[in-house]
Amino acid sequence: MIHLFFYDLVAMPGSSLNPQDQLDAALEAVRLGRLAEGEQILKDLSRAAPDFHDSWGHLAHLLVQQGRIEEAVLCYQKVLEIKPGLPEAVLLLGDAFYSLGQHDRAYRTYLQLKGQPVFESKDLQIRLARCEPAWRLLLQRGLRKLPELGRVLVSPGFYCALGRELWLLPRSGSAIRLVGLKAYLAFLYHSLVREKTWHFPLQHCDLCGGNRFEVLFFHRRTKVVRCLSCGLETAERKPPEGQDVFSGFFEREEIIVGLEEEWSDPALIDVRLKSMKGLFRNLDIDFPSAGWKVFEVGCGQGQFLASLVRAGLTGAGIEGSKALADYCVRKYSLDVNATSLKALQPATANYDLVYTFHVIEHLDHPSELFQKAHQLLRPGGYLFIETPTLELDRLPLRNRLDEKTGYANPEHMHFFTHGSLAPYFPRYGFDLVGTYQYLSNGGFLGRKQDGLF
């Protein structure tokens, strides 16, 4: 658990342990998953040393993690009684009000930070914008959008999409209450007027084929829905090939240059290698196994594939961005083709391993990855997938608003959990033979079944 509050130790009468030791014991219990014990220690500590604001802060954090937001609010308020204006506590109290749907209170709470450096941060400005009263938004910004609105008013598709949203309004109620009216109006503007996502067809669930969904979240142009049959979470409207191919994001030179440092980081390559090694070790397979033929879907700049080739494997792959594929060939002389998964036509099924890191969540049809991997692999060959697998719907709002791993990532077309990705394997002819969870990421290893599929 992150230490969110500054320490301010006070003596604790009647206890052999000082408050810091008790706090450490509580955090250790929480870290080991003994939440009730950790909570009890923190409560005892708060009672015995009521001015020790750090214990109130951690207690609040623990309650938020369990979805007990009302109780957390009381703890944050206690922190602020002890330490008036403590920025972290003000921010988290605002978040707690926001999670409860009390956007006005959240807005007023965030405003208390005015004049402090944190007030100028992007994070806080996003929060303020999300809970700014809707009437102010309409008045200040709506009028400026009128010319833009005029241009879409001549499109029949706009009226169909708007009518559909109005028709679905009763079923969108809980998601609107969660994100706030302003965020919903922003969604209507971005999806209907600015980006016209109604050009992209509505699709059945990629996993089970179901066509009944519940609305979970709105963020800018994205409406996140969940299949009522299987639980798969997805953006309701998806560009063909996914958003980053559609927008040409990874064709841009400045993006490629900007990502070079992150993707070349030996620590990243090492952690990925260790993750795969661990899964194979459980199967008594030494990975990377010299002589294996491996195929990467979404090679990026090719650093990981190049490391496997250096280890004695034969590697090939595809990359949706032509600029990135060229980079792989130019820098590492890799056998990487610029093509989409959809267009890939595997000629032979002789690969030992098909793998992919953080690609499947970008696909409009994740099932295509399984189909193509099945065509590429020899019988008994392996399919490895790593993707974010946070249970976003159960996490605090700030996790859902995370622009990397949350619903707010505009490039992510699907939001997997362990429960929604694992069923793909048997459905497409694989036995799921290993998994891991590392921070926000889930790893999955499947083995192609021997029989005909």
Among 124, 183, 205, 299, binds Zn ion (CB under 5 A): 205
The Cα 348–Cα 352 span in angstroms is 12
Least distance CB 365 / Zn ion (angstroms): 13
Select 206 or 296, whichever has its Cβ closest to Zn ion: 206
For residues 113 and 84, give the distance between their C-alpha atoms in angstroms, rounded to a whole number.
Answer: 11
Please write down the HEC assignment for all residues of 239-304: CCCCHHHHHCHHHCHHHHHHHHHHHHCHHHHHHHHHHHHHHHHCCCCCCCCCCCEEEEECCCCCHH
- Residue 289 or 367: the one with the smaller Cβ distance to Zn ion is 367
Binder among 20, 65, 229, 435 for Zn ion (CB under 5 A): 229
Closest approach, Cβ 226 to Zn ion, in A, equals: 9
Q: Does 41 bind Zn ion (CB under 5 A)?
A: no
| Residue whose CB is less far from Zn ion, 61 or 237 | 237
Shortest approach of Zn ion to residue 266 CB, angstroms?
39
Q: 352 with 277: CB under 8 angstroms?
A: no
Asked if 216 is part of the footprint of Zn ion (rule: CB under 5 A), the reply reads no
Question: DSSP labels for 292-360?
Answer: -EEEEES-TTSHHHHHHHHTT-EEEEEES-HHHHHHHHHHH--EEEE--TTT-------EEEEEEES-G
Number of residues that bind Zn ion (CB under 5 A): 8
**Of 50 and 231, which has the nearer Cβ to Zn ion?**
231
Which region, judged by CB under 5 A, interacts with Zn ion, from 88-96, 143-151, 221-229, 416-424?
221-229
From 379, 380, 386, select the one nearest 443 (Cα to Cα): 386
Closest CB to Zn ion among residues 234, 321: 234
Length of the chain measured in residues: 453
Sites for Zn ion among residues 231-290 (CB under 5 A): 232
Write the binding mask 375 to 414 for Zn ion: x where contact by CB under 5 A, - elsewhere.
----------------------------------------
Q: Which is nearer to Zn ion, 393 or 403 (CB)?
A: 393
CA angle 172, 246, 144 (to 5 degrees): 60
Indicate which single residue of 4, 129, 181, 230 sits in contact with Zn ion (rule: CB under 5 A).
Answer: 230
CB-nearer residue toward Zn ion: 230 or 329 = 230
Residue environment code for 63-78, b if the CB has 16+ CB neighbours within 10 A, otherwise e: bbeeeebeebbebbeb
When the beta carbons of 110 and 424 are compared against Zn ion, the nearer one is 424
208 scored as a contact of Zn ion (CB under 5 A): yes
Which window, 70-78, 111-119, 194-202, 204-212, contacts Zn ion (CB under 5 A)? Answer: 204-212
**156 cis-preceded (ω within 30 degrees of 0):** no
Name residue 453's amino acid: F
φ, ψ dihedrals at 433, nearest 5°: -110, 0
- The CA-atom distances, in angstroms, between 148 and each of 15, 134, 189, 195, 317 are 67, 20, 10, 11, 42
Stretch that binds Zn ion, among 185-193, 215-223, 225-233, 311-319 (CB under 5 A): 225-233
207 binds Zn ion (CB under 5 A): yes
Q: Report the DSSP beta bridge partners of residue 315.
A: 294
**Which tokens belong to 193?**
């007027």
Least distance CB 256 / Zn ion (angstroms)? 35
Listed ranges 25-33, 81-89, 201-209, 406-414: which one lies at the site for Zn ion (CB under 5 A): 201-209
Does 112 interact with Zn ion (rule: CB under 5 A)? no
- Only one of the segments 180-188, 207-215, 361-369, 380-388 lies at the binding site for Zn ion (rule: CB under 5 A); that segment is 207-215
| Buried residues in 315-333 as b, exposed as e (16+ CB within 10 A) | bbbbbbbebbbebbeeebe
SS3 81: helix
Question: Does 422 participate in binding Zn ion (rule CB under 5 A)?
Answer: no
The answer to the question of residue 227 lying near Zn ion (CB under 5 A) is yes
Write out the two tokens for 6. Answer: 């500054």
Tokens representing residue 97 in the block? 């009000």
200 or 213: whose CB is closer to Zn ion? 213
Report whether 202 contacts 236 (CB < 8 A): yes
**Closer CB to Zn ion, 319 or 368, in the complex:** 368
210 binds Zn ion (CB under 5 A): yes
Say whether residue 225 binds Zn ion (CB under 5 A).
Answer: no
Question: Given the rule CB under 5 A, which residues bind Zn ion?
Answer: 205, 207-208, 210, 227, 229-230, 232
